[in-house]
Chains A and B, each alone.
Chain A
Amino acid sequence: QSVLTQPPSASGTPGQRVTISCSGSSSNIGSNTVNWYQQLPGTAPKLLIYSNNQRPSGVPDRFSGSKSGTSASLAISGLQSEDEADYYCAAWDDSLNGFLVFGGGTKLTVL
């Protein structure tokens, strides 16, 4: 059971806009920034969004992130077939001595 809660699956057709939610608590999302990772099949994760809504260089502006309270969202607009992947949210948790927490992952299918 992951500390951050994501829907296990999401889907959309090419060109559509999809959103993936990530729910946490006051000790993680509520007090720290959220990062999103994309994991294409058989590859290592790749940073997609950091500090809630910042895109690393090279990440298309079709990807955007937001945060409100103890929840965050990743939005993908103009969906493309190559966006089919697993998506993970992550945040630092200030509980105890502090630790990094991930969501359980959302498998995005492009129909």
Chain B
Amino acid sequence: DIQMTQSPSLLSASVGDRVTLNCKASQNINKNLNWYQQKLGEAPKLLIYYTNNLQTGIPSRFSGSGSGTDYTLTISSLQPEDVATYFCFQYNSGHTFGAGTKLELK
């Protein structure tokens, strides 16, 4: 089974900061990776699909990159409404979520 490791598990940042969240797969996942945002009490919401494709309706401050085993979600300028937990999700072989990165305001 493919394991997904996210780092950091908790990130504190200020409004306007550039924020980077990381996700590492235990083997090559061929860019078959999505990023989800989950706010408290809500269902997850897709932000990025296939590593770097912005889902319709998602602000352009969100972007994704990566290849092989290493992937990144970047928020170019953090907004208060971005406070949430972010999960990566691989679908290259089976399906696996990462443990999540909780993003809070400093």
Tell whether A pairs with B.
Answer: no
Binding site for A on B (CB under 8 A): none
Binding site for B on A (CB under 8 A): none
